[in-house]
Amino acid sequence: MAIGRRVFLARASAALLFGAASPAAFAQDRGAGRGEAGSTSAARSGAADELVEAFSRASGVADLSVAVMRGQAQLYQRHFGTFGPETILNIASASKWLVGATAMALVAEGRLKLDAPISAYVPGLPPDHARLRLDQLLSFTAGLASLKEALDIRQPRFISLTRSAQMAASAPLASTPGTQFDYGGANLQFIGAAVEEVTGMRWQAVFDARIGAPLGMRNTLWGRAFWPPARALLPANPLLQGGAWTTLDDCAAFLTMIAQDGVYRGRAVLPKPAIAQMAKVMTAGLKKGYVPPGAEGKPAEYALAHWCERMEKGRCTFESSPGAFGTYPWIDRAKGLHGIVFLKDRLQRIAGQERALRDGLIQLFG
């Protein structure tokens, strides 16, 4: 093994074992190895394998899949343990990014408006909730109660999304709309209801037509967090903030489209302005109420249905949507890379180690 690569792996493994990455060190060692075997594609894949294996030793997670991409080019993809291309997982909160894209498809068509009140689309809401704007709901700044109340999680599976929103609206607002971020409330059920009302179609059908089919996401179904869906019997009330079940390849196709400003394999799935609007930070300067376990104290803001982990000159350059069960999709626009760590565990337990793995892979392939 070349000296530069050995030093890189030693430092990367130490970072993973102790839960803190050192991107500067990764970059220095990667540069030192240029021109040696470590700079070749095969050697970088081997180094990536060892980073993942170091993560597995540190976290105890043996079953996982990992992908790193630049545009359409797949730089790295591996399945470990019992996982393979057909493995389907509930991606929990990573589902939110898919919801945001689906809603933006309807915005691009002129059928929804982000600054419109939800009552323009969903009937039967009390006055306080009727005034909530779609962009507030997508960014968890609408004043609804947070994930702690589990309003949508406790609902029946076979009511409509419109009924789901109406039931959630029976609870009083927790804060003044537009003043506070409270993560994980029933916000996206309102968005789903609006989508179904303006299209006359069920959520799965709308997602398939606008996002799933153009991206070839044949294995992505919407259900509940602990209830694997079957296409023949899908719940009428999918949990939109955390109910997507999917594969690594489907997730990778979605991320590639977002990273390429709405284009996938030469086809415009979403217009570029819609992608830019999705990445607009909505929580800067707002009070942070409830944030999910694993995200406390992190310098992150929230955009439309996903996180902005890093901003440069007012532009979000690092987007992500980690799920409570461990799946962690990300886009590093500064490096021109995107990827996903695909697994099932408690994000709260492994978040630091998972970010260290991600950052090590970015430095290796960036």
The rounded distance, in Å, linking the Cα atoms of 284 and 289 is: 13
How many CB atoms lie under 10 A from the CB of residue 342? 27
Inter-residue contact 72 to 266 (CB < 8 Å): no
> So what's the pLDDT on residue 23?
35
Q: What DSSP character marks residue 224?
A: B
In order of 94, 108, 313, 351, the CA distances from 241 in angstroms are: 8, 22, 30, 19
> So what's the pLDDT on residue 89?
98
The rounded distance, in Å, linking the Cα atoms of 326 and 351 is: 8
Give the residue carrying structure tokens 């991606």: 91
Can you give the residue ranges of every domain in the chain?
A: 3-61, 89-344
Inter-residue contact 311 to 303 (CB < 8 Å): no
> So what's the pLDDT on residue 24?
34
Q: Please tell me whether residue 36 adopts helix, strand or coil conformation.
A: coil
Its pTM stands at: 0.90
Q: What DSSP character marks residue 139?
A: T
How many CB atoms lie under 10 A from the CB of residue 113? 14
Inter-residue contact 98 to 241 (CB < 8 Å): no
Note the Cα 217 to chain centre separation in Å. 15
The rounded distance, in Å, linking the Cα atoms of 62 and 315 is: 36
In DSSP terms, 330 is beta-bridged to 320, 339
* Strand pairing class (73-80; 307-312): unpaired
* Weakly modelled stretches of the chain, pLDDT under 50: 1-39
Instruction: Looking at the structure, give the CATH architecture of the domain made up of residues 89-344.
Output: 3-Layer(aba) Sandwich (3.40)
The rounded distance, in Å, linking the Cα atoms of 211 and 37 is: 40
> So what's the pLDDT on residue 29?
36
